[in-house]
Chains A and B, each alone.
Chain A
Amino acid sequence: MIGPSLAAAQPAVLTTDHVRAELLAHAPAGIAPGKPVWLALAIQHQPSWHSYWKNPGDSGLPTSLSWRLNDGAIPGDIAWPTPQALRAGPLMNHGYEGALLLPVPVTIPAGFKASELLVRLQAEWLVCRDICVPESGEFALKIPTRVATTAHTTQFDEALSRVPKELASVQARAVIERRSLRVDVDGLPPALRGRELRFFAEMAGVVDPAAPIEQRWEAARWSSRVPLSAQRSESPTVMYAVLVPAGQSAGIRVRLAITGSWVTSSVVVPAADAVAVGSSDNARRIPQPSSIKE
């Protein structure tokens, strides 16, 4: 459906009051079946503004990318870089400040014959500081197939190095307890032993993003208790999570097989104390990575 004239009518860059967004391509071996082909939306946030990870945490919405490619080329899912923990009062969000690249792998089918890969992207992102602004943009790009496209190699390499790694050595499991998930992870790299890890659930609506987790190392095993959301909306049997050592930009992705049964809480909260209790829980939080480094 899309022709060169349409593609040329759309820009590859959009600048708003809060971000500069640009559609980028990376095809170091040209565009052909079996070759690595990447597209990405680059978002440069204005200082103190942020956008969100796939699980945005207590509020916010993930950035969404909707692609149209020519000649049967197939866009994959966003390879989300490891998020940052962004605190907003007692709430916790997962997202990105500063420079962000959201890479997407593209599969070029065997019969691909076009002389150019024609890319159209409809992107929606929510950008927040103390207020939130939903933004969107349409982008287009034409990429020649027979030459290498490498102008943004550094940016793609950096972004892909921040995507959480899946390690064959890692085995993880989770057991449902009354108000938490007991998470045990074996086979993590020895260099991590003894270090504090941050836990990001990829699925929203299961754990409480702002609640501090209990964690300890038992020799090579990382063992933790991750508080469930008091208003849990999901009951998964498998959940992916990202573990990030404090102060590091790339995490490790683990697949949690969840055992035990999800039961609806029937515990009655004493109404009289409930209002009074909340006020001191900031003091109980585990320090943020930024404060740990100091």
Chain B
Amino acid sequence: MKSLLFGALCGLTVLMSSGAAAQTASVGSAAPAFAAKDLSGKPIALADFKGKYVVLEWTNPDCPYVRKHYNSGNMPTTQKQAVAKGAVWLSVSTGDTHTTSELQSWLKTKSASPTATLTDADGKIARAYGARTTPHMYIIDPQGTLIYAGAIDSKATSNPADISSATNYVDQALGEAMAGKAVSRATTQAYGCSVKYPSGA
């Protein structure tokens, strides 16, 4: 039994050397290209926004950590400020937990203002970016390089009262990058619910 198991493990080891995990997006590397549809069915590709900063936000209205940042107004405000500074904001909904009309009405009630919300039903975009949580945030610079990956802010709790004393990492990274400075916290530990990858993905 044991030797059989180890035979199987060796086989896995050989396969592993081509390393799927190693090709997940990482800060400092080219952001993986993607093409998807927004909630109205319009095709959207990362390549459409070359020359602009692009923020990706993994979202799920059912998740208490997403609700923390929407019910408090923190995420919509961060979106508005980023877009006002010239960035493109793409919210991403992975899996099939919500219909497009459910997402549309939820975004409306929260006064959310992303440039677009993408559906990632098969989880391909989430896999390419290594998205683990909702929320999980990424920033891509005008040259297409990933410059931020991680949490929305520095306080990993579900309590909205913590937002005012937390550092908003997306605001901070975008502000630094747009001012020509190095991003001081380029990778942080995202917190929240798991991304709802479709079964079999």
| Residues of chain A at the chain B interface (Cβ within 8 Å) | 58-61, 88-91, 93, 124, 126, 128, 130-134, 179, 194-196, 204-205, 208, 210-212, 214-215, 227, 229-234, 264-275, 277-282, 284-287, 292
- Pick the residue among A90, A194, A265 that contacts B2 (CB under 8 A): A194
In the complex, the answer to whether A277 meets B156 with C-beta atoms within 8 Å is: no
> Which B28-68 residues have C-beta < 8 A from chain A?
28-34, 62-65
Q: Taking the nearest CB of chain A, how far is it from the CB of B192, in angstroms?
A: 6
Contacting pair A269 B20 (CB below 8 A): no
**Given A59-B133, A231-B187, A279-B124: A196 and B199 interface contact (C-beta under 8 Å):** no
Complex formed: what's the CA distance from A195 to B22 in Å?
26
For B199, the chain A residues whose CB sits under 8 A away are 89
- In this complex, which of B22, B34, B63, B149 has the most chain A Cβ atoms within 10 angstroms of its Cβ? B22
Chain A residues lying within 8 Å of B65, measured Cβ to Cβ, are 132
A128-B194 CB under 8 A given contacts A233-B188, A284-B12: yes
Q: Which B positions have Cβ atoms within 8 angstroms of A?
A: 2, 5-6, 8-9, 12-13, 15-16, 19-34, 62-65, 123-125, 127-128, 130, 132-133, 144, 149-150, 156-158, 186-199, 201
A214-B16, A215-B9, A271-B32 as given contacts; A231 in contact with B128, CB under 8 Å? no
Chain A residues near B189 (CB-CB < 8 A): 204-205, 233-234
With contacts A132-B63, A275-B33 known, is A196 near B28, CB below 8 A?
no
- Contact between chains at A61 and B156 (CB < 8 Å): yes
Contact of B23 among A93, A131, A273 (CB under 8 A): A273
**Chain A residues within an 8 Å CB radius of B34:** 275
Q: Do residues B30 and A271 form an inter-chain contact, with CB atoms below 8 A?
A: yes
Contact assessment for A281 and B21 in the assembled complex, using a CB-CB cutoff below 8 Å = yes
Enumerate chain A residues within 8 angstroms of B27, measured Cβ to Cβ: 231, 264-265
The interface residues of chain B lying within 8 Å CB-to-CB of A270 are 30
CB-CB < 8 A to B28: which residues of A?
Answer: 264-266
CB distance from B190 to the nearest CB of A (A): 8
Give chain B residues whose Cβ lies under 8 Å from the Cβ of A130: 196
How far does the alpha carbon of A91 sit from the alpha carbon of B126 in the complex, in Å? 11
Q: Whole-angstrom distance between the alpha carbons of A58 and B21 in the complex?
A: 13
Is A134 within 8 A of B158, CB to CB? yes
Q: Do the beta carbons of A275 and B8 come within 8 Å of each other?
A: no
- CB-CB under 8 A from B19, the residues of chain A are 179, 227
B197 near A91 (CB under 8 angstroms)? yes
Assembly CA distance A233 to B156 (angstroms)? 14
**When the two chains form their complex, are residues B32 and A267 in contact, meaning their CB atoms are under 8 A apart?**
no
Complex Cα distance, B64 from A179, in Å, reads 33
Chain B proximity of A213: nearest CB distance (Å):
9
A212 and B125 alpha carbons, distance in the complex (Å): 21
The residue in chain A whose Cβ has the minimal distance to the Cβ of B60 is A131
Judge whether A59 and B32 touch: CB under 8 Å.
no
- Min distance, Cβ A55 to any Cβ of chain B, angstroms: 10
Pairwise interchain contact A231-B150, C-beta atoms closer than 8 A: yes
Cβ-closest chain B residue relative to A206: B189
Instruction: From B6, B8, B144, B194, give the contact of A91 (CB < 8 A).
Output: B194
Contacts A134-B158, A194-B2, A271-B32 hold; do A231 and B12 have CB atoms under 8 A apart?
no
Contact between B197 and A88 (Cβ–Cβ < 8 Å)?
A: yes
B200 to chain A, nearest CB (A): 8
Contacting residues, chain A, for B127 (C-beta < 8 A): 90, 275, 278-279
Report yes or no: A214 in contact with B13, Cβ–Cβ below 8 A.
yes
**Which residues of chain A are near B31, meaning CB under 8 Å?**
271
Known: A59-B132, A230-B25. 20 other contacts (CB 8 A): A58-B194, A59-B192, A89-B198, A132-B193, A195-B2, A205-B189, A227-B21, A230-B21, A230-B26, A231-B26, A233-B187, A233-B189, A265-B27, A266-B28, A268-B30, A269-B30, A274-B25, A275-B33, A275-B34, A281-B21
Min CB gap B84→A, angstroms: 27
Tell me the nearest residue of chain A to B24, going by C-beta.
Answer: A230
Q: A134-B158, A230-B22, A231-B24 are in contact. Are A89 and B29 (CB under 8 A)?
A: no
